[in-house]
């Protein structure tokens, strides 16, 4: 009976050698680290791109010469508040698009990509049109189209990732604020 409990030490039982389970755990850990690094890089690109485009637009056309020269009523916000609104909207939509993309949303719903690009182009065009050139009626049309693109993005994003869809709501509020300012400018 006792001979059945005796264990023979072989080279496989070497305590310095890693067991197959430990090797598998290390491989899984390495794969997770590599995936996390790729995710961080893609997050950086997806958030930085719209923010960088917005900052470039603000730098090139952000002086708001037409907006500054207007005899505005006190209820219109200062120029820096409009710039901050554009920056916040770009940051939130970049994060929302990344969450959508990370779940494979742009492959499952290619229409969302077109809506996102349309929003980005309209978002970048609004400030030069309204604040630099003073074309508030054309800016109002751009703002309405931007809100439409945001609604489409939010709906498509929500079908794939609930959080990505919910991040579109503050962007809609910010675009509504820009639309309100634009409407006030058109009525002046």
The overall pTM is greater than 0.85: no
Instruction: With CA atoms as reference, report the closest residue to 136 among 188, 76, 99, 58.
Output: 188
Please write the tens of the pLDDT for every residue from 49-104. Answer: 999 998 888 888 777 677 777 766 667 888 888 889 999 999 999 999 999 988 88
Sequence-separated (6 or more) residues with CB below 8 Å from residue 86 = 54, 57, 58, 123, 126, 127, 174, 178
Q: How many domains does the chain have?
A: 1
* Confidence (pLDDT) at 76: 81
Interatomic CA distance for residues 48 and 43, integer angstroms: 8
* Confidence (pLDDT) at 7: 57
In a domain, 178, yes or no: yes
Please write the tens of the pLDDT for every residue from 150-164. Answer: 999 999 999 999 999
* Confidence (pLDDT) at 41: 84
Interatomic CA distance for residues 183 and 83, integer angstroms: 17
Nearest-5° angle of CA 154, CA 160, CA 162? 65
Lowest mean pLDDT among 3-12, 111-120, 169-178: 3-12
In a domain, 40, yes or no: no
Interatomic CA distance for residues 19 and 150, integer angstroms: 53
In a domain, 176, yes or no: yes
In a domain, 7, yes or no: no
- Owning domain of residue 69: 48-187
Interatomic CA distance for residues 106 and 153, integer angstroms: 11
Give yes or no for residue 170 having a pLDDT over 90: yes
In a domain, 9, yes or no: no
Residue with tokens 């598998």: 24
In a domain, 163, yes or no: yes
* Confidence (pLDDT) at 10: 55
DSSP 71: -
* Confidence (pLDDT) at 93: 94
Instruction: With CA atoms as reference, report the closest residue to 172 among 156, 148, 138.
Output: 148
Give yes or no for residue 176 having a pLDDT over 80: yes
In a domain, 16, yes or no: no
In a domain, 8, yes or no: no
Burial profile 105-138: b = 16 or more Cβ within 10 angstroms, e = fewer: bbeebeebbebbebbbebbbbbbbbbbbebbbeb
Please write the tens of the pLDDT for every residue from 2-48. Answer: 656 665 555 555 555 555 555 566 676 776 666 656 778 888 888 89
């Amino acid at each position: 009976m006792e001979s059945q409990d005796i264990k023979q030490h072989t080279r496989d039982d070497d305590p310095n050698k890693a067991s197959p389970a430990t090797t598998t755990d290390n491989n899984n850990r390495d794969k997770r680290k590599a995936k996390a690094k790729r995710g961080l890089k893609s997050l950086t690109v997806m958030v930085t791109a719209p923010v960088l485009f917005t900052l470039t637009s603000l730098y090139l056309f952000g002086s708001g010469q037409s907006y500054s020269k207007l005899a505005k009523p006190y209820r219109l916000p200062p120029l820096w508040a409009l710039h901050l609104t554009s920056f916040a909207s770009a940051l939130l939509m970049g994060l929302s698009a990344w969450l959508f993309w990370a779940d494979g949303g742009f492959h499952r719903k290619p229409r969302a990509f077109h809506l996102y690009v349309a929003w980005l182009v309209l978002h970048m065009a609004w400030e030069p049109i309204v604040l630099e050139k003073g074309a508030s009626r054309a800016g109002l049309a751009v703002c309405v189209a931007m809100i439409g693109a945001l609604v489409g993005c939010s709906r498509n994003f929500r079908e794939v990732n609930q959080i990505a869809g919910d991040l579109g709501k503050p962007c809609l509020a910010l675009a509504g604020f820009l639309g309100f300012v634009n409407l006030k400018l058109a009525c002046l």
